[in-house]
A and B are shown apart, each in its own frame.
Chain A
Amino acid sequence: MKKNLGILGILAVVFMATAMGSDSFFTAYNLFNLVERTSLYGIIGIGVAFVIITGGIDLSIGSFIGLVAVAFPWLVITHQIPVIAGLIGIIALALLAGLAHGLLITRLKLQPFVVTLCGLMIYRGIARWMVSDRTMGYGDKAFSGLKVLVGSLAQIPGMQNFAWAKHVPVAFLILIVLGIVAAVFLNKTIYGRYLLALGRNEQAARFSGINTSVMIVMAYVICSLITGLGGLLFALDYGSIQPDSFGNFYELYAIAAAVLGGCSLRGGEGSIFGIILGAALMRLLMNSISMLGIDDQLEPTVIGVVILAGVIVDELVKRFAARRRAILQARQAAS
């Protein structure tokens, strides 16, 4: 919790500054979009956090989102498969991808970077090839049942009397439920503890009787499943999918959200709440840039600079703490 205070602070400052600097920021429409996009990025951030905690990485997320977004209407519209069967197909696809990543990494000892970099290229190619690069749409009425997941407000049962409960996007509810499940899994179950332990020191975890290979495979499967869910939500939200570009760079945004939220790429560290804050900060920055009239072209630069600044401050704080501890201990030893 203490670790998240910094990013919470930045979030508050940017929020206030944008609110004061722009009239259209504090409108229902803008805030709705902000929360909704935060939710989608937060979801894929939680997914990638599982592999980052093991000390791995998943670079294929963006391409996999593209593949899911294309494959779903391809199954349902082009091949006239029922929506439910289509969803099962997507889940199976995600399972398969996660298993493939995990097994290549644990059995063949390939580096996660290499495996998922190849995934990035493979999935993108398949997505483009299966629909011959045609734009896919989610306009068909077959999808209308799923459309409530994005772009609409939630009806939270039992909460009708609270004013705020009428302004919650459904996607945000999904994020909260997923976040709670992920946080409970990580912090309250032995499997979460195993992941954190092996992320710090896989050898010591193995020497303590933990089947680290199975746990790593599981982390990649969880990541791919959550990415699949995120991909569907992104697709429903955008409605029109370009196979050659949809989802491009999303893995980097997911990783950035996780890192902003306190995940170390060395593994073993991560807070779900932090990741949600990280995603929120990223979306807020994107939003602020357009609200404050900064050139759109500079958007990636601003985000990059803010993340870099955050990581630098974090590192400096850690060093300061370490030095203070060393001095304290030296003093204790001397006395």
Chain B
Amino acid sequence: MSRPETPVPLLSVENVTRRFPGVTALNRVNLSVYPGEVLALIGENGAGKSTLMKILAGVQMPDEGQIKVNGTEVTLRSVQDSQASGIALIHQELNLSGNLDVGANIFLGREPLMRCGLIDKRRIRDQSRQLLERVGLDVSPDTIVDTLPIGQQQLVEIARALSINARMLIMDEPTSSLSTHETERLMDVVQDLRRRGVSVIYISHRLGEVKELADRVAVFRDGENAGELSREEITHDRMVRFMVGRDISQFYARRPHTPGAVALEVKDVQTPANPGHRLNFAIRQGEIVGVAGLVGAGRTEMLHVLFGVDRAVTGSVAVHGTSIRVNSPFDAIKAGIALVPEDRKQQGVILEMAVRANIGLAGLRKHQRRLGFLNRTQEARDSAQMIERLSIRTPHERQVVQFLSGGNQQKVVLGKWLAMNPAVLLMDEPTRGIDIGAKQEIYGLMEELAEQGVAILFVSSEMEEILGMSDRTLVMHEGRIAGELTRDELSEEAVMQLATGNVAAGAHPK
């Protein structure tokens, strides 16, 4: 890719490789960004985007390859190095100290001092005001950050990045928790930064936004460059094809279904996180229902109530027509509900324990011998069976889960639940952070389970996954189910309309 007007890219990444135990996260990756350019970086979860961003932010070092800023090779050993090179990362989970005010956050770690050694509050206030104006945020520098809505907090982060004279902003999923209005505002700020010559690497799963904003799109797949699209080449279909490496119809293994009897019925359930709304829906046997929505829409909270991690304020849940009380995960499991949680390492597996012990964990009580003695035969049988059925790649069943790749760890979680033969499988971001091969295996497995009559409810922030896998989609917005989309009504636009609070035509508001 050459550009006659700007032959030297502001940033170029050349043949960068980074390995982790069991997986090559980046394999000889190349990327260049020119001054005043918005480069969108897209790819499915586990494609290597975040690893590259961490390398650029100085959090991790590449195993091989070079990074050049303005044509000069740089070594980014720390966040300070990276900032000194003019690179600032705005992380998906914002990195602000919520208990401090806006000014203090902007200058955190670089506080201007008075001659006596105390912090020069006046200078902070004055400079903060200018920076806030540049990002179009009309709040006082003395406002405590926690009192601001999430969209405004993000603008504070951008102001901080500008305060270190960043020439290159990396934004990781900046809109995943923003409302429509906040998203529009952010897009304006990005456009404005571009006019001022700041380059932006914009990572997003929202292909609609990418189309609107990007000068160029780079696509990663499985830790490698999958392709690039210039401004005029950007279309939804092309982006998806690069992301999944083939036609989506083949990648997502959906076949038409005839759902059976109602497996899970949720009536008037109020979650402690969003007690203002009642959740109502039902899932049939053999049906795969997707739950879309912005980060913070209350999707995980809903699953936690169904699985008994949190108690419902009111409402009833029935499995196969039998009303059940779910006061703990134990109750849920007994009723045939399983949850593949969002945070695999904290909630899904016990990293320091063996594959076998992890797979057996949920069934210990069911298979116990007299006096509570372990049934090791059953445990060994279950784990051997699951390793085979899910093709979990592990040297042996006594391997500690920590040393498996993300995809195989997720399969261990699935194995733990499949050994229990659940009637209802809840999945929270089932393919987050895993490679494309494992991803496809998990989709195949979901399909297989649905065919066997398991009812599947899965939450996903990845649009392609929602579009590709669900028979029916529930869209959540601010704690309530904003609408339901059938397979025919399903489109990125329809989901986003509901997810950001605009009720679209064709949707059924509840």
Contact B361–A205 (Cβ < 8 Å): yes
Picked from B330, B346, B353, B357, the residue with its CB within 8 Å of the CB of A209 is B330
CB pair B372–A190 under 8 Å, yes or no, is: yes
Contact A188 B373 (CB under 8 A): yes
Q: How far is the CA of A210 from the CA of B334 in the complex (A)?
A: 12
Task: Assess A211 versus B328: contact at CB under 8 Å? Given A197-B353, A200-B352.
Answer: yes
Quick check: is A333 within 8 A (CB to CB) of the other chain?
A: yes
Chain B hits for A325, CB < 8 A = 21, 403
B132-174 interface mask toward A, CB cutoff 8 Å, 1 = contact, 0 = none? Answer: 0000000000000000000000000000000000000000000
Set of chain B residues within 8 Å of A326, measured between Cβ atoms: 21
Residue in A191, A203, A208, A333 whose CB lies within 8 Å of B361 = A208
B368 interface contact, C-beta 8 A = yes
A201 touches B329 (CB 8 A): no
Least CB distance, A168 to chain B, in whole angstroms: 29
A190–B365 touching, CB < 8 Å: yes
Residues in B with CB closer than 8 Å to A194 are: 364
The reply to whether B403 and A204 contact each other, CB–CB distance below 8 Å, is no
Residues of chain B lying within 8 A (CB to CB) of residue A329 = 21-22, 403
A186-222 vs B: 1/0 string, CB under 8 Å?
Answer: 0011110110110011011111111100000000000
Interface size on B, residues (CB 8 A): 35
Instruction: Please tell me if the beta carbons of A207 and B339 are within 8 angstroms of each other in the complex.
Output: yes
B347 interface contact, C-beta 8 A: yes
Contacts of B328 in A (CB 8 A): 209, 211
Q: Is B374 an interface residue (CB 8 A)?
A: yes
Q: A189-B373, A189-B374, A209-B365 are in contact. Are A204 and B19 (CB under 8 A)?
A: no
Alpha-carbon gap, A229 to B18, bound state (A): 56
A208 touches B362 (CB 8 A): yes
Of chain B, the residue at the smallest CB distance from A191 is: B372
Residue on A nearest B420 in the bound complex, by CB:
A209
**B371–A209 touching, CB < 8 Å:** no
B264 CB to nearest chain A CB (Å): 18
Within the complex, what minimum Cβ distance (angstroms) separates A143 from chain B?
Answer: 34
Q: Are A204 and B350 in touch, CB under 8 angstroms?
A: yes
Find out whether the CB atom of B350 lies under 8 angstroms from the CB atom of A188: no
Q: Give the CA-CA distance A208 to B347 in the complex, in Å.
A: 9
Chain B residues near A189 (CB-CB < 8 A): 371-374
Shortest Cβ distance from A332 into B: residue: B22
A119 contacts the other chain (Cβ, under 8 Å)? no
Contact between chains at B372 and A200 (CB < 8 Å): no
Residues in B with CB closer than 8 Å to A190 are 364-365, 368, 372-374
Taking residues whose C-beta sits less than 8 angstroms from the other chain, chain A's interface range is 20 to 34
The prevalent SS among residues of A at the interface is helix
Question: What chain A residues lie within 8 Å of B19 (beta carbons)?
Answer: 330, 333-334
Cα-based distance from A190 to B368 in the complex (angstroms): 7
Which residues of the other chain, A, contact B351 by a CB distance below 8 angstroms? Answer: 200-201
Tell me the nearest residue of chain A to B372, going by C-beta.
Answer: A189
Min Cβ gap A309→B in Å is 25
Known: A188-B374, A201-B346. A208 touches B416 (CB 8 A): yes
A268-B352 contact in complex given A193-B364, A329-B21, A330-B19, C-beta closer than 8 Å: yes
Report Cα–Cα, A197/B357, bound state, in Å: 9
| A223 CA to B19 CA, complexed, in Å | 45
Complex CA–CA separation, A200 to B354 (angstroms): 12
**B341 adjacent to chain A (CB < 8 Å):** yes
Partner of A203, one of B347, B353, B365, B371: B347
Interface centre among B23, B332, B361, B373, by most chain A C-beta atoms within 10 angstroms, is B361
Query: Which of chain B's residues 349-388 have a Cβ closer than 8 Å to chain A?
Result: 349-353, 357, 361-362, 364-365, 368, 371-374
The 0/1 profile, CB within 8 Å of A marked 1, for residues 331-349 of chain B is: 0110000010100001111
Cα-based distance from A211 to B403 in the complex (angstroms) = 27
Closest A residue, CB atoms, query B331: A209
A82: min CB distance to chain B, Å: 32
**Pair A209/B329 contact, Cβ less than 8 Å:** yes
Contact A197 B374 (CB under 8 A): no
| B residues at A contact (CB < 8 Å) | 19, 21-24, 63, 307, 309, 328-330, 332-333, 339, 341, 346-353, 357, 361-362, 364-365, 368, 371-374, 403, 416
22 example contacts (A-B, Cβ-Cβ < 8 A) are as follows A189-B371, A189-B372, A189-B374, A190-B373, A190-B374, A194-B364, A196-B353, A197-B350, A200-B350, A200-B351, A201-B349, A201-B352, A204-B347, A204-B348, A207-B307, A207-B309, A208-B329, A208-B362, A209-B328, A209-B330, A210-B361, A325-B21
- The 10 residue pairs across chains A and B that have the minimum distance between CB atoms: A209-B333, A190-B364, A189-B372, A208-B361, A209-B330, A201-B350, A207-B347, A208-B362, A209-B329, A200-B350
Q: A194-B364, A201-B346, A333-B22 are in contact. List 18 more A-B contacts (CB 8 A).
A: A188-B373, A190-B373, A193-B357, A193-B361, A200-B352, A201-B349, A201-B350, A201-B351, A201-B352, A207-B307, A207-B309, A209-B328, A209-B329, A209-B330, A325-B403, A326-B21, A333-B19, A334-B19
